[in-house]
Amino acid sequence: MTVLRRRRRALAVVAIIAVPALLTGCDVITRGHVEAISVRKTGSTLTVQAHNETVNPPRYQDTDSLLYVADADAIGRVPADPAYAFLGPAGSRVWVLPQVERPNLPWVGWSTEGIPSGFLVNNRIRLRLLRVDGPGPVAVYTTSALGVPTVLFNSADGLPDARNVNIGVHQHANWAFRTPGLYHLRMEVTATYTAGGSFTRQFGLWFQATEDDR
Ligand SMILES: [Zn+2]
C-alpha cells in the first residue's frame, strides 16, 4: 500500500489516503462531481475521457486516472423490496455511490452533451460493460422518485451488458458493490458516424469499496 498526500482543492477533499500501489498516481475521488464517462466530439471523431469537476478548473483526463472511493458513508442495506434483489439478499450490506449527490461521497455520472445532433447515426452511442475485475459483482442502476430501480448494468447475472445512450444526456446512477475491495470496470463506447465509419473505444474505471471512513 502506498500513502498518497494530496492538497485539498476547491471541491475535492482528498486527504491522506492509502490506495493500492497499482493505482499510485491516480486521483483519489472521495467526494464531488465527476463525469466518469464523458463522450464528446473533438474534430471529426469522438473522444472518451473523464471530466473531473472536483478540481478548479475542471479538466478532462483519462477515465482510468481516477479512483472513486465508496467509503463507510456509502454502506447501506439491500432493501427487502424484491425489486432490489439484484443487489443480493435483503438486509445484506452494499456499498452505493448514489445517483443523487451526497456531500461525503463521489457523485459519478456520464455525459453525451458534447455530441452535436446529426453527428452520429440515430443520435446515440452504445455503452457496454464488458468485464469486472474485483472481489464481487457490480450493479449500476437508476432509482425513480418513487424508489423503483432500473438496472442498467449488472455483472452478477453475466456480461456484457449494453445500453443505448442518446446524445445530449447527462446521467447519474447508483454504483453498487457488495464486497469491499478494488474494482476495475472494462467498458466500451461504440457509435456510427453519419459521415461514414464507426467508432469503438474501450476504457477502464476504478472503484474502491472500503469500510474506512474517509
Ligand atoms: Zn454529472
pLDDT tens digits along 83-137: 999 999 999 999 999 999 999 999 999 999 999 999 999 999 999 999 999 999 9
Residue 128 CA to ligand 1 centre (angstroms)? 19
Residue 198 CA to ligand 1 centre (angstroms)? 26
DSSP element (H, E) containing 109: strand 106-114
Positive or negative CA dihedral for 170, 70, 136, 184?
A: positive
pTM: 0.89
**Residue 213 clears pLDDT 90, i.e. is over it:** no
What order do you get walking across the sheet with 138-143 strand by strand? 75-77, 93-97, 174-177, 138-143, 149-154
Q: Are 138 and 155 in contact (CB under 8 A)?
A: yes
Q: How far is the C-alpha of 121 from the C-alpha of 54, rounded, in Å? A: 33
Q: How far is the C-alpha of 42 from the C-alpha of 48, rounded, in Å? A: 10
Mean pLDDT for the chain overall? 91
**Residue 20 clears pLDDT 70, i.e. is over it:** no
Q: How far is the C-alpha of 92 from the C-alpha of 165, rounded, in Å? A: 31
Residue 43 CA to ligand 1 centre (angstroms)? 23
Residue 138 CA to ligand 1 centre (angstroms)? 20
Domain annotation covers residue 123: yes
* Per-residue pLDDT at 5: 38
Residue 15 CA to ligand 1 centre (angstroms)? 23
Domain annotation covers residue 9: yes
* Per-residue pLDDT at 2: 38
Domain annotation covers residue 13: yes
Residue 60 CA to ligand 1 centre (angstroms)? 13
Q: Are 65 and 50 in contact (CB under 8 A)?
A: yes
* Structural domain that includes position 17: 2-209
- When pLDDT is cut at 50, 70 and 90, the band that residue 22 belongs to is low
Domain annotation covers residue 214: no
pLDDT, average across residues 22-35: 90
* Per-residue pLDDT at 192: 98
Domain annotation covers residue 171: yes
Residue 32 CA to ligand 1 centre (angstroms)? 10
Q: Are 99 and 174 in contact (CB under 8 A)?
A: yes
**Residue 172 clears pLDDT 90, i.e. is over it:** yes
pLDDT tens digits along 182-211: 999 999 999 999 999 999 999 999 999 999
Residue 82 CA to ligand 1 centre (angstroms)? 29
Domain annotation covers residue 125: yes
Query: Residue with C-alpha cell 464507426?
Result: 198
Percent above pLDDT 70 for the chain = 90
Which residues lie at CB < 5 A from ion ligand 1? 35, 109
Residue 1 CA to ligand 1 centre (angstroms)? 30
Amino acid present at 127: L
Residue 169 CA to ligand 1 centre (angstroms)? 10
pLDDT, average across residues 33-52: 98
Residue 53 CA to ligand 1 centre (angstroms)? 9
What's the domain count of the chain? 1
**Residue 17 clears pLDDT 80, i.e. is over it:** no
Q: How do strand 45-52 and strand 59-61 relate by DSSP bridges? A: antiparallel
